[in-house]
Each structure stands twice: as C-alpha cells, then as structure tokens.
Structure 1
Amino acid sequence: MKLLNLCFPLVLMLTTVSLSAQDFKDLDKSPMDAVITRNQDNSPLTRIIYSRPKKKNRVIFGDLVPYGKIWRTGANEATEITFYEDVLFNSEKVKAGTYTLYTIPNKENWVVIINKGSSLIQLLYVYLDYEHR
C-alpha cells in the first residue's frame, strides 16, 4: 500500500510534466491587443481593443483592403474604442461610451467612422450617409 501511495503521485507528476511540454501552434494568427490611455490623475480616458493584421508580404491597402471601401479596421473583428468621458474627435463631440471603429481608406486620405451600435445595419446607414455627401 505504501508503494502504491508513492507511485501514484510520481506517475501523476511525470504525466503532468510531459503534457505541459507539448508544443501548440499559435491559436490566433492576428493577436488581439488592448491600449488604455489615462488622464493626469491616472483615471482611464480611452480603451482600444483591436487585432493586428499580419502583412505576410502582402500589399494591404489598395489590394487586400481596397481603396474607397469600408474596412472594419483590424483583423478578425471591428476595433472597439471606449471613451470614459466625452471627447472631441475631429472637432465633433463624442459622448462617453463604447463604439466600433471603421475606416474608408483612400490613397490620399482616410475616413474614420465611429459607430455607436455594433450592428452592421447601423453602420450601413452611416456609410450611405457618407456616400451621399
């Protein structure tokens, strides 16, 4: 019985060590990042959550992401930006809250869209409004 009590933990340890030594491939090819900016009093001002696209020797803008078309700004899903207080964004007042960020890249300039809703239908209305200006 003493031998069994000694062998069981030893086998368990060896199994655990061999399992933890397994190599796993990257689960996410475009890792998610988060950035938080703070005020002088250390309170949060903004938080941005995004996934970095991997270039992999590709031409991104004008090819993979066409000019003049709406882009979800990042890889995998839309970039999310949270303002913890009201801010001015390109001279426009934006209320505190969480938004999704989209862009329309062009050769000479980019259009930045801050979308309050997470719905693509809401975004479509914003885009159509942009197209008719």
Structure 2
Amino acid sequence: MKKLFVLTLIAGLFTAGAVSAQEKKEDKSKRPSPPAVATGTIKSGAEITIDYSQPSVKGRTIGAEIAPYGKVWRTGANEATTFKVSKDVKVEGKALAAGLYSLHSVPGEKEWTIIFNKTANQWGSYEYKEADDVLRVAVKPAKAAAATEKMTFSIDKSGKVSLLWGNVIVPFNVK
C-alpha cells in the first residue's frame, strides 16, 4: 500500500511539473517584436522561407539607435532570422546551396551587406562567427515609397526579396 501511495505521489509530481513547464512556455506573439514568416516560390521553382521577428522603429533612427551602420546585425529581433531555400539558387549572381541559414546584415547608408551564415539556430548575432559565413552580397538600399513601422520581408515571383523598415527598402535578387 505504501509503495502504491509513493508511486502515485511521484507520478503526480512529474505530471504537475510537465503541466507547469507547458504553462511557462512563451507565447512569442506577445513579444514586443512578434514573429513573422515570409514565404514565396520564385520562377525557378525554389521555395524561400524567411522566419524572423519584427522590430518596430518606435521613433528611433535606423543606422544609429537600431541596426547600427557598420556592425553585424541579426536582421530582425530575438532569435536570428533564418533564410531557407529548397533548391540551389544564386543570390545577386553568387551561388547559394539549398538549405537553412541564419540571415545577418551589415547596414550602411549607401550599402548593406547581406550575410548567409551556416549556423541557423542562434540567438541574435551574439554567437555569430564570420568564419561560418557561406555567402555575403553587397546591395544598395533605397528610400521606401511609404514608411513601415514593423520590419517586414517580402518575396515576389521574380525572386526579388525586400526588407522594408522605416523609410528604407533593402532589396536583393534570388534566381
């Protein structure tokens, strides 16, 4: 009888612990920079998925207070943004194998460097290592037609991927 009582008590503790852990699981949609996903299939048939968190401008200056010019940035918020492509492609004319990458960038006033890094699962750019870069491409930012408060990615059928944020648009081509 004592054994049954002890076993029941232990089982109850494990169950309560599991329920408590589930209750503590974070609802990422409640974050100040909520999660978002951009997906698209380009002309070549390659599927692109960009999984990211959307920081807001909140009156700050891009290049100074947020996404500082000249420094590697996670190209989003929270976990590093990931870029997944289903087939081998060319980004700005340079080869990128099918796979999952973290997407970082080095913002600049006249040029942004878009970085595809082989370490997909990392928090922000804190553990980023340049030695793990698979591809870097330089692109020209432009003034956006309209301001975008929350950073957003778009992918069109032609393979144009655009980062829209504040008054800037940072496009790059995937073929």
TM-score category (smaller protein): 0.5 to 0.7
Aligned length: 102
Q: Which amino acid aligns with 2:48?
A: T
Residues 85/44 of structure 1: CA separation in 2 closer, same or farther (3 Å cut): closer
In the other structure, the counterpart of 1:27 is 30
In the alignment, is residue 125 of structure 1 matched against residue 131 of structure 2? yes
Which structure has more relative contact order (CA 8 Å, sep 6+)? It is: 2
Unaligned stretches of 5+ in structure 2? Answer: 1-28, 137-175
In the alignment, is residue 46 of structure 1 matched against residue 52 of structure 2? no
So what's the TM-score if we normalise by structure 2?
0.51
Q: State the percentage of identical aligned residues.
A: 32
Asked which structure has the greater CA Rg, the reply is: 1
Q: Which amino acid aligns with 1:99?
A: Y
The structure with the largest strand share of the pair is: 2
So what's the TM-score if we normalise by structure 1?
0.66
Unaligned stretches of 5+ in structure 1? Answer: 1-25
The structure with the largest helix share of the pair is: 1
8 Å CA contact 1:36–1:44 kept in 2: the answer is no
Residues 34/44 of structure 1: CA separation in 2 closer, same or farther (3 Å cut): farther
For 2:42 and 2:132, locate their aligned partners in 1 and report how far apart those are by CA, in whole Å: 31
Which of 55, 58, 61 is the matching residue for 2:60? 58
Shift of 1:44: 5.8
Q: SS where residue 125 of structure 1 aligns?
A: helix
